[in-house]
Every structure is written in C-alpha cells, then in structure tokens.
Structure 1
Amino acid sequence: MEVGDGSFAPVGVSKQRADQYKGRLTTYVVVACLVAAVGGAIFGYDIGVSGGVTSMDTFLEKFFHTVYLKKRRAEEDHYCKYNDQGLAAFTSSLYLAGLVASIVASPITRKYGRRASIVCGGISFLIGAALNAAAVNLAMLLSGRIMLGIGIGFGDQAVPLYLSEMAPAHLRGALNMMFQLATTTGIFTANMINYGTAKLPSWGWRLSLGLAALPAILMTVGGLFLPETPNSLIERGSREKGRRVLERIRGTNEVDAEFEDIVDASELANSIKHPFRNILERRNRPQLVMAICMPAFQILNGINSILFYAPVLFQTMGFGNATLYSSALTGAVLVLSTVVSIGLVDRLGRRVLLISGGIQMVLCQVTVAIILGVKFGSNDELSKGYSVLVVIVICLFVIAFGWSWGPLGWTVPSEIFPLETRSAGQSITVAVNLLFTFIIAQCFLSMLCSFKHGIFLFFAGWIVIMTLFVYFFLPETKGVPIEEMIFVWKKHWFWKRMVPGTPDVDDIDGLGSHSMESGGKTKLGS
C-alpha cells in the first residue's frame, strides 16, 4: 500500500490484541447508535412512499397523465399499464443523485468526521421533502428527488461507518443492523401513511411526500448532538479526546488495547495520500470485491422491485383497492424479520443467515413465477385464493431478505475495511448499491412488461449466483474487532494469496475464539 513517501506499508494493524479488549455495551452507545440509525429511516421512507404515490390516481393524473389513462383502460395488458420511462425516472433519479453524492461524501466523512456527513445528509433530505410536497410541475418534483438523493448518498455513506466504529466487536453486527431496522421501519411507516393518504382528496400524495421531513429533522438534530467516533477523532489528530470518548462508550478506563489498535490504524491511514487509488491495490482486492458484490447482490435479488413497486405490482396482479394494504403487510414483515436478524447475527454469524436467506428467496421467486405463469394472463385477474397465496409467498421472500441480505448487505462491507481505506470503501459500497438501485428502478417497469412472470425467474437466477458467492468467497466476520479484520483475509483459502503476510500458527490460535470460518473449503485455524 502506497504511503506518503512512496514506500509501501502493510494493510491494517500488525498485532492481534482482541483478547485484551475491555468494556461492555453502554447506554451511551445504544442511544448514539439509535440516533445515527435514523439515517436509515429516510432511505426506507422514500422506498415505501415512492411506490405508494405512483399508484395514486391523483398523483398520476397531475404528473403522469399518460399512465393515468393507461391504468383506466380495461383492455390494457396488466403487465404494461405502468410502463413509462418518465414514471420510472421519478423513482430512479433519486438514486442517481445519491450515487454521485456518496463519492463526494467520502472526503468529507474522512476529513470532517462521520457526524458532518450525517448532518449534511439530513439537511439535504429536508430540502428535498419540502420541494416534493410543494411540487406544482414535474421539474420541481424531480428537483426534490435529486435533493433527497443527495441526502441519502451522504447518510448511507456515513451512518454504517458510524455504527461499526461505535459498537463493541462482539455486538457490532446487531448494532450495525440498527441502520437496516430503521430502513425497514421507514418502509413500513411510509406504506401505512400511503394507505391513509390514498383515501384523502387530491392533496393526499403531498402529505405522503412531505412527511419525509420528519426523519430528516431527527437525523439533522440528532447528528448535531452525536459524539464523534473515537476512530475518526484519532484519525484527525485528537487522540486524547478520542480516548475519552472510547472510555465513555466502553464504560471503562481499561481501553489500552483497543486504543492502540485505533492509533496504529490512524497512523497508517494518515500516511495514505490517495485512498481510492490504494483500494485498487492487489492486497485490498478482497475488500474491494466485497464492496462491489455485496451491495450489487443486495439489489439484484429483486427486493427493491417489490418494495418500490409493491402497490403497482399488486395492482398489476389484479388486487384492486387492496394494493396499499398488501404492500403495508410486506413492510410489516420486513421490520419483524430484521428484528430477528439483530438477535441472531452475532450468534449464528453472517454466512449462515446469508446462505439460508438466499435459499428461501430462490424458492419464493420461483413459486411466484409459476403461479403467475399458470394462473395469470395478460388481461385476466388472479382468483382470490391465488392472490392470497402470492401475497404469502412474497411475504416469505421479504422475511428471508429481512434477516439476511437486507441488513448484511450493509453490515459486511462497513466492517471489513482498514481505517486507511474505510471511507473510500464505504463510498464504493454506497455508490454500487445506488447504481444498481437506479438501474433496477429505471428498468423494472419495462422488464415487467417484456418478461411478464419471467421477471421473477430472472431475479431467482441472481439469487443462486450470490448464494454460491457467499459460500465460497465470504469469510465469517462475527466477533472480529474492526481494526483487526485484516487477519480474516489472511486465513481465507482463496483471499490469502492476495493479502501479504500469511499468519503463523500462533496468530491463528489467537483468533480461534472468534469462530471464523472461510467460505467453502477450509476452516480457519486448521
């Protein structure tokens, strides 16, 4: 890895001190993580609310009159009623703006701290919510979506990092998942609000869009009062203040080992001139691959198509007035399954949840495709019995996503990077997530019209690929201190050939308590 003088230094810390870490889960950490995780709520609220308002006649009549007319024509192919690139752009423009913002947010997060990006994200999202609620034309509506996207780009870049750095190693998975729990809660809240506002007069959609300001306010105000992470403070030269915060959040003065790890990591981080260039080095290849593949697979399983367009999808299947109720149900089960994941992730580990979730999602996608292929034509409607069955299977799909790829698609990338490339790595993760979200959001309605029920088989194929990827290439990171994550790659059957300094037997024994298994072939420490 290139340092300031042009020489090369090892990646991450050089010593393993995890068994010397002291401390406990403090109320201070829990409150700070809860406030920071509100950043996920703004992301979730937009996912839920955008799908809801695009199924409201009053919204479509004002901004997308062609879609409104197609929706009302009985002879129109059910799969193609909402196939309109302008309507897709309403949803997808936010994620394109978020992609650009996440790259801009990286140097801000590194130079000015995690809190600065959280506050910037909250303010931008607040402006976007106001513009959307007051929109009188499509230009104003899309301007608001762009500001929302900037807010999401900053929030998604900073919040997972904040949560990973504040949490003690043995509970990092659960606390990091507060971000996903807030996201799913935001989706459910938006679905319930849409269910109510759809019954209001012509201004109901304005209320749905405008209420996005509430989580934005919480994120902004909360960000102003959050403590900065010890890692960020020490990286920016405030060692004494960083130690005081570390002692406070761990509830003990015996933090020497963890403090030394952070200091070592920050010294290396400050020697790196170009984090984005260094992240491309061969020795950083494992983290880079995960930063690209994990968020890409998180979207390619098809969940966003269901969450963005749940009301549209259910109307396509002939659910009529029950569409918003059905999408609210999927939001509710997503919240509950995320709670289950929080309780299991630091007990069972990341790999078990990802693989089991992938298997269940494949079965659900194939089942829905078969039902629609056999029982649902272009101009027919599903019978009541099959409609209920489709909702149940989709809920089972959402449950599987909620305990696996939903939270872990964010958790794993946020915890694997050394401090010197952590901001750059998280920016790549967010950018890839938003890029694929943009692509799916822009293309889904056209794909639904072209592929019809085959769209579910398309996503099932991707789930098979990503489940095999986890089995063979993702090592277990449960319980590994974030500043010692480098040793995970040194022990993996595949990645160890790319990471310099293969550990000796003593090193392997030192991490035996962390129960780290490599993917597919060997167990670390064997």
Structure 2
Amino acid sequence: MSSEEAINEKAHIREREEKPRPDEERQEHHSNFVNNFQARIQNPLYGISREDLLKQVEEFTRAHGMEEKTELFKKGALLAQSPAAFEEIPELTEEDRVTIRRETTHKWTQPRALYWTVIICSLAAAVQGWDQTGSNGANLLFPQEFGLTSEAGNPNAEKNEWIVGIINAGPYLASCFVGCWLTDPLNHYLGRRGTLFFCGIFCIFSVIGQALAQTWEQLFVCRLLLGLGMGPKATTSPVFAAENVPANIRGGLVMSWQLWTAFGILLGSSANLALQGTGKIAWRLELGSAFLPAVPLTIGIFFCPESPRWLMKKGRYNKAFRSFVRLRNSELQAARDMFYVHRQLVEEFAVLRGSTYVSRFVELFTIPRVRRATLASWVVMLAQQMCGINAIAFYSSTIFFNAGYSTRDALLASWGFGMVNWLFAFPAVWTIDTFGRRNLLLFTFPNMAWTLLATGFCFYIPESNAARVPLIALFIFLFAAFYSPGEGPVPFTYSAEVFPLTHREMGMSWAVATCLFWAAVLSLTFPRLLSAFGSVGAFGFYAGLNIAALIMIFFLMPETKQRTLEELDYVFAVSTGQHASYQLKEFLPYWVRRWVFFDKKAQLKPLYNFDEVESITVFEKGAAH
C-alpha cells in the first residue's frame, strides 16, 4: 500500500470512528467542494459541534501518537474553526490571544526558519534568471564562433536563425517536455528539499558544460540538460514557499520567485557587461557564470524545514508538527494550522482519489474543481509569454543592437532593463496581498500593450535622429516597469496556490510546463519573427497579444488573495460559466460606474459567500449542529 493510500485508509478509519455529520450535510459539503454552485467558501470544520470537534481532536492525537499535545490541539482546533472569534474562546489564555492578535498587527514578524525557506527559494529564482540572461549576452558572440551568422546575403541566414533560436530554446524545451513532469515523482520520493537539491546539481554542471562546448551541438545538449534542472526547480520552489507561509503574507513572500528571478536577470546582465571585454571567450564566461548562485542553493536547502503539508500527505504527522513549530511563532499556531490542514486532507482524499501519476494527470482535466484551477493556471502562465517579456529578456541585446547601439551600449541598455525589472518588482511584495493577483493583472496588461506599441513605432524614427535610440529604450523600460509588479510575480505565486494538495505537484508541473513551452516557442521563433516582420511588426504583434491575454484573465481567472490554501478548494469549485457571467454582469458595470463615472455609491455584489462558524454560536448550540 502506498503512503497516499495509507493516509486515505487512515482518514476513512478516523471518520468512521468519529461521530459523522448528517448524511445530507456531508453530501452538501462534498458537493460544494467539487461543484460550488452557491459560491460558498466553507471552513473544513464548518458545521461540527464543539463536542464532536473535541472528540475528533482526541482521535487525531491518539492516531498519531501525540496524546501529550491533546489540549494544545483542542485549542488549535477551536481557533481554526472560528478564527475571527478567537477573543471569545475560553480555552485561550491572554498570552494566546496576544499571539493571535500579532498575526495582524505584526504580520511580517516570522521565525527565521520561514524566512530562510523563502531565501532559498529566492536563490532558486535567481539561478533561473541568471541562466536565461547568460544567453542574452552570448547571442552577440557564439553565432560567430560556430559559423551561425545571419548577415544579409548569407545563403544559410534563415537556417542559422532557426539554429540560434533552438539553442536559446533548449532549456525550455527540455523543461516543458521532460523536466517539469519529473516534479511529481521527484517530490513523491525526495520531498521538496530533495527535489531542489537534485535541481541544484543540474544547474551547476550543465552551465559549466555550456562554457566548455566546442560545437553548437554540444552547446545545445548542455542547454537541454540545464532544462532538467530548471523545470522541477521552477515547479517546486513556489509550491515549497506557498506551503510554508501563512495565508495573510503568502502572496508577498511567494512572489519573491519573480522578485529574485528579476534579480538573477540583473546579475546575469551585470556579468554580461563585466565580461564583454574578455574577447572571444566572453560568451563562454557569460553562460558559465550562472553556476555561482546554484552552489549556495544546493547546500542551503538542507537547512530548511521540509514542507509540513508534504509530510502530512505522506503520513508523517509528528515530523510535520515539528516542521510547523519551526515555521510559526508559537505551538498554538502550529497546532491550529496542522489540524486545519489535516481536516482538509480528509475532505480532499474523500473526493479526489488520484493515487497514481497517470490518474493525477487525467484528473487535472476531469474533476471540476481541479479542472478550473488547471484552466486558470494555464491562462496566467500563457499570458506571461503572450505579454512579450521574454522576447526582451532573451534578446534585448539583439534588439538594442538592431536599434543602433554598439555592442557595449546594447549590453549596458540590457543591464538597465534588468535593473528596472528588478526594482519595480518590489512594490508587488505589498500590493499582491492588498490589491490581489487578478486586479494587478487587469491594471498592468493594458499598460504593457501601449508601451510595446510605442516601442515598435519608435523604429519608424530615422536612424539619423538622435531621439530614436533613447525613446526605444525608454518605452522598453516602461514596459518592464509595468510588467514587474503585475504579470511578473503573479503567475508562479498564483499557480502554486490554486491546486489541492492531492494534485499540487502535478498541477504545478502543468502550469510551469505551459509557461516554459511557450517560452521555448518564443525563444525559437523571435529571431525569425524579427527578421520577417521587422521590429515594428514584432512589437505590434506582442501588443495585440497583451489585449488577448487581458480578456482571458478577465473572464477565466478567480481571485485568491488572503485565502488559505484549503479555502481555495471552494473558490475553484465555482463553475467557470458562473465566474465569467459574474465578471460581465456584475464586476464590469460596477467598474464602469465607479472608475469611469466616479460614482462613489457604486457597490459590488460579492461573488463568494464565506461560511465561518461563530464561536459563541457553536458554544451555545453544542450538539445541535
């Protein structure tokens, strides 16, 4: 019996031992979880009487050998059931209440272990950014080294453009077709930490191999091997952070993936600029330098606590509690979060039965709740490539060179792009949990569209005009400034949240494979697109894709801000049609009234109804529930 099957069996045994809810109430609860027609967001402890809840806690601690923690878990369970009414829970001491109040008043005060986890995940992101930027500078030199130039009149120009494109696309091709899909088995057997160690090894030695390549074929193979590390790393790191971080600051910390990917791009651009004077070997050093951040990632991962949710999924509850204690400010918070996750696991395993690799993949498209998360993550990941950011991240040096810059100035302008991309990612640390993931995208996509269109039109300015080059750079920098706090951090943060624990690795594999597949398509086709359409046509094409992405996000992407990972089960049980209809009939008219006509009295009817058990009600009604 597999570990997941074992936890399934334990969950069913415990449910039989515990006093069940009425059949019709349980049926309604599971129905809401899979198809949430009433848009109710339901606490997994909803509808359980105080007496039954405390009995469940006793069974829980007995089943997992934690009897000495029974009283602690009772307080944690009562708190998890009625988080807004913690002041009225008599079992809590004043010290307990102070701790819970500080979750709101001092939400950024977190244990070192939690921040260390975020730092390691940030290092993983920096490796990702540096890896993709090394090729940006190397594109100016390695084609000459391997006879892949595409000057006018060269009979092999078109063929060489495709070869350069496929070399740049190599890591993304390997990631989307192989690397991302290794995530599920790697996480199953190695855990989150072991998977990141595996990725670190590939990210060290493959980039060194790129620097030593003697033919373009060897360079291509090394870049394919790099993709075997990039795929599981990009998939696991945001999940690892999302599972360890409390809901009220999850967006701000998990979005560090984008913040430090942007920092990695800046570091790579800095390395390209610093190494541009080293002659013919500059491209080798630019590609090989990306191993530097991979070394502390590979070593530092062993000092992080393993994801407690992953440990619970594997049935290792005692280790999970120790991990939660390291990641929270008090044992009460650890007990609350652990019991809450446990109850949701019982609900998930009762409904979502995927236990094999193939069945979990199939269920991404067959179980309504999971299918909606699959669609939303696909939209937001596809949109990241549709917006055109990686056309600039991969080829900015080439774009600036074509605009009239010298090689050195093109690298300097690329460094400026990297700096803007990084600096403007910082505001998202606060805005992503304040304005929300969806609202950030609805704001940034129109602005990315017009800045790309303006960039393209600037290529109509005659080369003799001194304003041509600065204006092209200005609008590219403005594009990066709009991208970084919006579409930059949202996709990986969002995709790491939206899948249930039973399908989280497989779902994130799907999301990242989507992102990297289209990154590969973009990397492969952009040299030829630039040649065929010209700079004006290429930028105009991506401006149009931004508008298409905006429409998809508006209708197909639910909001997830400040919801626990478990509450999101109910958000994504609302049908796609119901969500899209709400946006068209409720949200859009409200937005026009409020922000076009500035009607301050305009009110937006909420889509979701949150069912939370009030503590006093439970205490008074007791078993009446």
TM-score category, normalised to shorter length: 0.7 to 0.9
| Counterpart selection for 2:393 from 307, 315, 319 | 307
Aligned CA distance change for structure 1 residues 64 and 154 (closer, same or farther; 3 Å): farther
| Counterpart selection for 2:482 from 384, 400, 403 | 400
Which residue of structure 2 aligns with residue 217 of structure 1? 295
Which residue of structure 2 aligns with residue 388 of structure 1? 470
Does the alignment pair 1:97 with 2:182? no
> Which amino acid in the other structure matches residue 312 of structure 1?
T
* Alpha-carbon distance, 1:382 to partner: 6.0
* Alpha-carbon distance, 1:496 to partner: 6.5
SS at 1:405's partner residue?
A: coil
Q: Per-residue CA shift, 1:496-523, capped at 9, x if unaligned?
A: 699xxxxxxxxxxxxxxxxxxxxx9852
Give the aligned CA root-mean-square deviation in angstroms.
Answer: 2.7
* CA–CA separation in structure 2 for the residues paired with 1:43 and 1:371: 31
Which residue of structure 1 aligns with residue 458 of structure 2? 371
Contact 2:133 2:394 in 1 (8 A): yes
Q: Per-residue CA shift, 1:295-352, capped at 9, x if unaligned?
A: 1111111110011000011111111231001110000000001111112111221122
Q: Per-residue CA shift, 1:400-455, capped at 9, x if unaligned?
A: 11111111011111111110111110000011011101111101111111111111
* Alpha-carbon distance, 1:133 to partner: 1.4
SS at 2:126's partner residue?
A: helix
Which residue of structure 2 aligns with residue 474 of structure 1? 557
Which residue of structure 2 aligns with residue 508 of structure 1? none
Contact 1:361 1:460 in 2 (8 A): yes
Which residue of structure 2 aligns with residue 38 of structure 1? 123
SS at 2:524's partner residue?
A: helix
Q: Greater shift after overlay, 276-285 or 213-222?
A: 276-285
5+ residue gaps, structure 1, are 499-519
Contact 1:184 1:338 in 2 (8 A): yes
> Which amino acid in the other structure matches residue 472 of structure 1?
F
* Alpha-carbon distance, 1:15 to partner: 3.7
* CA–CA separation in structure 2 for the residues paired with 1:257 and 1:496: 31
The number of residue pairs the alignment matches comes to 488
| Counterpart selection for 2:197 from 95, 115, 119 | 119
Contact 1:362 1:463 in 2 (8 A): yes
| Counterpart selection for 1:261 from 340, 347, 364 | 340
Does the alignment pair 1:422 with 2:504? yes
Which residue of structure 1 aligns with residue 431 of structure 2? 344
Which residue of structure 2 aligns with residue 63 of structure 1? 146
Which residue of structure 2 aligns with residue 202 of structure 1? 280
Aligned CA distance change for structure 1 residues 496 and 394 (closer, same or farther; 3 Å): closer
Larger radius of gyration: 2
> Which amino acid in the other structure matches residue 369 of structure 2?
R
* CA–CA separation in structure 2 for the residues paired with 1:187 and 1:113: 28
* CA–CA separation in structure 1 for the residues paired with 2:524 and 2:268: 21
* Alpha-carbon distance, 1:20 to partner: 2.6
* Alpha-carbon distance, 1:264 to partner: 2.9
Which residue of structure 1 aligns with residue 76 of structure 2? none
* CA–CA separation in structure 1 for the residues paired with 2:543 and 2:606: 29
* CA–CA separation in structure 2 for the residues paired with 1:384 and 1:83: 32
Q: TM-score, normalised to structure 1's length?
A: 0.87
Q: Per-residue CA shift, 1:77-118, capped at 9, x if unaligned?
A: xxx899611111110011111111111222221343111211
Q: Greater shift after overlay, 14-23 or 334-343?
A: 14-23
Contact 2:375 2:556 in 1 (8 A): no
Which residue of structure 1 aligns with residue 404 of structure 2? 318
Q: Greater shift after overlay, 408-417 or 12-21?
A: 12-21
* CA–CA separation in structure 2 for the residues paired with 1:418 and 1:261: 14
Contact 2:372 2:573 in 1 (8 A): no
* CA–CA separation in structure 2 for the residues paired with 1:217 and 1:329: 27
5+ residue gaps, structure 2, are 13-26, 35-42, 47-79, 85-99, 582-602, 610-625
Contact 2:113 2:305 in 1 (8 A): no
Q: Per-residue CA shift, 1:121-172, capped at 9, x if unaligned?
A: 1101111111011112222211210121111011011101001111110000
> Which amino acid in the other structure matches residue 171 of structure 2?
L
Which residue of structure 2 aligns with residue 289 of structure 1? 375
Which residue of structure 2 aligns with residue 53 of structure 1? 138
Which residue of structure 1 aligns with residue 446 of structure 2? 359
SS at 2:149's partner residue?
A: helix
Identity percentage over the alignment?
25
* CA–CA separation in structure 1 for the residues paired with 2:125 and 2:294: 10
Q: Per-residue CA shift, 1:41-97, capped at 9, x if unaligned?
A: 1110122111111113xx332124433xx2xx6x89xxx899611111110011111
* CA–CA separation in structure 2 for the residues paired with 1:265 and 1:52: 48
* Alpha-carbon distance, 1:272 to partner: 2.7
* Alpha-carbon distance, 1:490 to partner: 4.4
> Which amino acid in the other structure matches residue 387 of structure 1?
V
* Alpha-carbon distance, 1:36 to partner: 1.9
* CA–CA separation in structure 1 for the residues paired with 2:180 and 2:573: 29
> Which amino acid in the other structure matches residue 63 of structure 1?
F
| Counterpart selection for 2:163 from 86, 110, 131 | 86
Q: TM-score, normalised to structure 2's length?
A: 0.73
